[in-house]
Structure 1
Amino acid sequence: MPLFKFTRHGGQARGGQPHSPLPWIALIALILGAVALGFAWLAGWIGRDRLTAQDFTDAIEATGANHPGFRRAHSKGVCVSGWFEPSAQATQLSRAHVFAQSRVPVLGRLSIGGGNPHGADNSARVRSIALQLSSDDGQQWRMAMNSFPFLAVATPEAFYEQTRAQIPDPATGKPDPAKLAAIQEKYPSVRAFQQWAKTAPWTDSWASTEFNSVNSFWFTNAQGQRRAVRWRWQPQAAVHELDAASREQAGVDFLSQDLQQRLAQGPVRWNLLVTLAGPQDAINDSSVPWPAEREQIAAGVLNIDQMQPQEQGSCNDLNFDPLILPEGIAGSDDPILAARSAVYSQSFNRRERERATGAAARDNAQEQP
């Protein structure tokens, strides 16, 4: 049925007067104007009393993480590939087809925290894994996971404030200590995160690092049972902790060098452990960790058997948006999750434009000694 129905009576309206098109034109213009206004609001061109993906990405760049052609965060990494093998118990959790087929192709990326693509592995406190699982029904499950088990803050507004506080003072080249202290005072969860950073082990390899979904998601199985979950990749490799002296000796590229050596001996593996939320657990607040005694289900094994430099690897042109999910998996209402998705898209679009205009090549040439 058409949106508008025009009735003509010999070029005249029912009252005998000529049928003027002006009211219809005005109505159509009004609708088109409303649509344009909506797009402008979503793009952040108007309504500047709210935060946008542009604001977040600009703030991240202002901290010093501005290397054209590279990701704004976790800039240094390598591409990896392999496969995922679900367990027999996985279909109890979700009807997603990645849990139903015997072997699922995986494309991914291992990285370190920070915005410097030439950063030092031995000084990066945070490590990350990003994965794309592609099932044979054409659906994808993308995830971006970190070595920390919870976030320092709970909302996009708080995250933005925290990022802004980390922007270097032009006079000193370092963040203002007073601004950092004010963030800690305002958000007690920041102190909890800092305590994790001080006490969590520095492992000797990506292969021995545990990675966490951090945000919560919903799994729905074939029977319609819906459960809130978080998941993590538990390493099968033995965990060896590095002390300060060992880290210094390890070198700035030791993670990629170690992974290459391990892959020469065979695949590197992680177990997928899915944690089920308890009745009182925070589902939409990723700054609150769930108790360790929550029920966990072993849902499969990740096998990585190939790696490539990210500049030539297939992962380089992939946006690991954590809200690209297959049927049977859905995002929670955690506001940080939606913000991550939007900022990932903004960062991806910027670096693609930079590559297209040659800005990335110019920046790389300047980086050369």
Structure 2
Amino acid sequence: MSDDVGKPRLSASAAALRYGGIGAATLVLACAFAYAGGWLSPGRLTQDRVISGFEAANGKHVGFRRNHAKGLCASGWFDSNGAGAALSRAALLAPGRVPVAGRFAFAGGMPFVPDGPGLVRSLALQFKPAGAQEWRTAMVDIPVFPFSTVQAFYDQMISSVPDPKTGKPDPARMKAFADAHPDFVAAVGVVGQRAVSSGFANSTYNALDTFLFVDKAGATVPVRWSAEAVTPFAPAAKPQPADPNYLFDALISDVARHPAQWKMVVTVGEPQDPVEPDKAWPASRRKIDIGTVTIDKVASEDGGGDGGSCTDINFDPAILPAGITTSADDIPSARSAAYARSFTLRENERGQKPPSAVTRQEVNAGGKS
């Protein structure tokens, strides 16, 4: 836990100033992992407005994802132990092995941000069973999302766009947002107390949103899932200014020595549990280990390495197999719309994209930049 445990809660204005700074190096914008923009009706948010908001906050980086811009491709497999089949009829939850494509990244829209322990890490996975429907999921290493609605997320992002005169967010706008959103301040406090691990390989990643498992009889239960690291936890160390990719380099080196693994753990909710991703469920909720994800190869997004290419994969969290569906939590559909727009933009910009921060040479050299 952080040193903030047991300290008095920050006022709304203080929390806004502490957590609301611009850039991927700050907590709130680092948490902004495209949970935005899916309402297409007149007068409401569109994916275009949300993507424009990302570009205003982070700058426009042609050819890159508008969020989770700095990343590394990966591949491996999922060994299902069959425990999930009691709650869901999804074919990939039956006992057996399923190929997996993945991507490790930082939240935020800056593709060349230097690695640092304060950046929110993400793991996106595409489960690809032969002859059956895919499952795609995008997870991060924070316990809750600081926003319950897309509108709140968008409003906070716009309030933190840098003032052209100072290059920093306007503190008055940030304070006004925090004062109007006490749930945001509370959620940011929870995020700020999380224990940060030393690297990608020993981080636990959470999907945060609420979904439904549907069994063979059509009965449903609310669920949330996580990828819990098998590699023992070690606390984060200080950044290494001499190597701006030191966390990615460590992951490349780790996977070259031995595969990295995560237990896929499903938390089963109760009908009264909140669906909003800024609200945690009680720790007493039942947890089911449904199998193990193994990553044994990584690759630069520009090619190089044996981890395949994730460049053409849209890790849309609304792509779900029969047996898993969305709930009353409407964030996944909003993410789906924003992800689709981001994908279209970067596909159209493919020929203009500069090399990624984590290069093919770096991967081929085993993480030695």
Q: TM-score, normalised by structure 1?
A: 0.81
Which of 285, 288, 294 does residue 294 from structure 1 map onto?
A: 285
Structure 1, unaligned runs of 5 or more: 1-41, 365-369
Which residue number corresponds to residue 116 of structure 2?
122
The equivalent of 2:197 in structure 1 is: 203
Amino acid at match of 1:190: F
1:3-22 alignment, distance < 5 Å: none
Counterpart of 1:94, as a letter, is S
Task: Give the secondary-structure state (helix, strand or coil) at the position aligned to 2:58.
Answer: coil
Return the letter of the residue paired with 2:251. Answer: L
Name the counterpart of 1:256. 248
CA distance in 1, matches of 2:259, 2:339: 29
Q: What's the % identity of the aligned pairs? A: 37
Q: 1:151 aligns with which of 136, 145, 154?
A: 145
Query: Paired residue for 2:352, among 347, 359, 365?
Result: 359
1:68 matched to 2:62? The reply is: yes
The alpha-carbon deviation at position 194 of structure 1 amounts to 2.5
1:279 is matched with 271
What is the CA-CA distance between 1:232 and the residue it aligns to?
A: 0.3
2:82 to 73, 88, 92: 88
Give the distance between the partners of 1:68 and 1:144, measured in 2 at CA. Answer: 22
Q: Which amino acid aligns with 1:360?
A: K
Equivalent position amino acid for 1:168 in 2:
P
* Equivalent residues of 2:222, 2:269 under 8 A apart: yes
Q: Amino acid of the residue matched to residue 138 of structure 2?
A: A
- 312, 324, 345: which one pairs with 1:350? 345
Correspondence 1:161 to 2:155:
yes
Match of 1:335 among 312, 330, 335: 330
Q: Aligned residue for 2:262?
A: 270
**Residue 260 of structure 2 aligns to which amino acid in structure 1?**
V
Q: CA deviation at 1:199?
A: 2.2
Bigger mean CA offset, 194-203 vs 317-326: 194-203
Which structure dedicates a bigger proportion of its chain to helix? 1
**How many angstroms does 1:250 deviate by?**
8.2
How big is each residue's C-alpha offset from its partner over 1:118-161, in whole Å with a ceiling of 9 and x where there is no partner? 11111542000111001122311001111112111111111110
- Encode CA deviations 1:319-357: one digit per residue, 9 max, x unaligned: 0000001110001121222111100001110111111xx
Give the conservation status (yes or no) of the 8 Å contact 2:144–2:191. Answer: no
**Corresponding residue for 2:318?**
323
Question: How many residues were matched structurally?
Answer: 316
Q: 1:214-234 CA deviation, whole Å, 9 max, x = no partner?
A: 101010122332111000001
Q: Give deviations 1:231-285, integer Å, cap 9, x for gaps.
A: 0001000111025xx23468421222111221122210000110011232012x1
Paired with 1:346 and 1:58, the residues of 2 have a C-alpha distance of 11
- 1:4 aligned partner: none
Q: Deviations over 1:285-309 (max 9, x none)?
A: 1111111111111111000000000
Q: Could you tell which deviates more after superposition, 122-131 or 296-305?
A: 122-131
3-state secondary structure, aligned to 2:111: coil
Q: 1:295 to 1:43 in 2, by over 3 A?
A: closer
Amino acid across the alignment from 1:359: Q
- In the alignment, is residue 99 of structure 1 matched against residue 93 of structure 2? yes
* Amino acid across the alignment from 1:333: A
Alignment deviations for residues 4-28 of structure 1 (CA, whole Å, 9 cap, x no partner): xxxxxxxxxxxxxxxxxxxxxxxxx
Verify the 8 A CA contact 1:275 1:295 in the aligned structure 2: yes
In structure 1, what is the Cα distance between the partners aligned to 2:60 and 2:152?
22
Question: Displacement, 1:64?
Answer: 2.1
Gapped regions of structure 2 (runs ≥ 5): 1-37, 358-369
Contact 1:57 1:346 in 2 (8 A): yes
Indicate the larger mover: 146-155 or 68-77: 146-155
Q: Are the counterparts in 1 of residues 144 and 190 from structure 2 also a CA contact under 8 Å?
A: no
Cα distance change, pair 235–91 in 1 and its aligned pair in 2 (3 A): same
Give distance in 2, aligned partners of 1:175 and 1:130: 30
Distance 2:136 2:356 in 1: 29
Shift of 1:66: 1.6
Following superposition, the deviation at residue 101 of structure 1 comes to: 4.6
CA distance in 2, matches of 1:342, 1:260: 32
